């Protein structure tokens, strides 16, 4: 399947109930306040941390490739009385009606782009949507292989209607040359005699530090900082780096 369509159907339905953590809004609120508004979250999913940032009065819009996840976001926004502007577009095909002072990804969502060509298109879209003096924040990481003991282990929860929701890792393949890790995930929903089971490949694509900087340069962007999650300069051996990008001179 197309990697951009991973978070659809039963996967989107189970995403919220089964997710193990939510993104802390604080670093992104600080980034927006430092950089300026309006702001844009790429890969906003079902609304974390976008809705909390909007609740605080920050001018933040969102974009995501999954119509199902955006529908979940809109329902959550209505329930919380929050006005949120979101767009159904792929990160690599951005065509939005305005430019932004701050563009960011909340967590390493950029690794969901399956290859360097798609990443380059996304970076060009970021460049085209940055306002003068604007900054983009792109967190990246190198995924660790799933421990063998966790292959086949099932994580469960119960839905409000009493259905049992399950997710498990069925298999995993890693290609160091292509810098991809493909994890086959099984999603299940069981409610009495009614069951739905779907298996989908979850592809993560990582970057070398030099390789990402080359892509950024090709897209017309300059790396102005490469830090850890605490804002300190990231060593060359770091497997998690937050890149700040601006339009190249």
Contact 148, 128 (CB under 8 A): no
Stated pTM of the model? 0.96
Tell me: the pLDDT tens digits for 17-67? Answer: 988 778 899 999 999 999 999 999 999 999 999 999 999 999 999 999 999
Identify the CATH assignment for 3-142+207-247 out of 3.40.50.150, 3.30.160.620, 3.40.50.2300, 3.30.465.10: 3.40.50.150
- For residue 114, give both structure tokens: 């399956």
Name every residue whose Cβ is closer than 8 Å to that of residue 162 and which is 6 or more positions away in sequence.
191
Tell me: the pLDDT tens digits for 74-126? Answer: 999 999 999 999 999 999 999 999 999 999 999 889 999 999 999 999 999 99
Tell me: the pLDDT tens digits for 136-192? Answer: 999 999 999 999 999 999 999 999 999 999 999 999 999 999 999 999 999 999 999
Q: Helix/strand/coil (H, E, C) string of 61-99? A: EEEECCHHHHHHHHHHHHHHCCCCEEEECCHHHCCCCCC
The rounded distance, in Å, linking the Cα atoms of 32 and 45 is 19
Look at residue 137 in the predicted model and tell me its pLDDT.
98
Burial (0-12, 13-18, 19+ Cβ within 10 Å), 76: middle
**Confidence bin at 236 (pLDDT 50/70/90):** confident
Mean per-residue pLDDT over the chain, rounded: 96
The domain limits of the chain are: 3-142+207-247, 148-205
Contact 121, 92 (CB under 8 A): yes
């Amino acid at each position: 399947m197309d990697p951009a369509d991973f978070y659809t159907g039963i996967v989107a339905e189970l995403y919220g109930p089964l997710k193990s953590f939510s993104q802390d809004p604080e670093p992104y609120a600080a980034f927006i306040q430092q950089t300026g508004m309006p702001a844009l979250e790429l890969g906003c999913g079902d609304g974390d941390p976008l809705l909390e940032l909007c609740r605080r009065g920050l001018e933040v819009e969102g974009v995501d490739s999954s119509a199902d996840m955006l529908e979940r976001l809109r329902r959550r926004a209505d329930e919380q009385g929050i006005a949120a502007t979101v767009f159904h577009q792929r990160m690599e095909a951005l065509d939005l009606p305005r430019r932004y002072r701050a563009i960011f990804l909340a967590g390493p969502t950029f690794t969901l782009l399956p290859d360097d060509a798609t990443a380059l298109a996304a970076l060009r879209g970021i460049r085209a949507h940055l306002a003068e003096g604007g900054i983009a924040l792109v967190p990246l990481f190198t995924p660790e292989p799933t421990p063998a003991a966790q292959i086949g282990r099932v994580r469960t929860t119960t839905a409000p209607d009493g259905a049992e929701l399950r997710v498990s890792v069925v298999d995993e393949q890693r290609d160091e040359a292509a810098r991809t890790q493909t994890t086959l995930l099984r999603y299940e929903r069981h409610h009495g005699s009614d069951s739905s089971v779907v298996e989908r490949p979850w592809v993560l694509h990582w970057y070398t530090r030099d390789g990402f900087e080359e892509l950024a340069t090709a897209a017309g962007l300059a790396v102005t900082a490469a830090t850890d999650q605490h804002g300190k300069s990231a060593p060359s051996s770091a497997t998690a780096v937050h890149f700040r990008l601006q339009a190249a001179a």
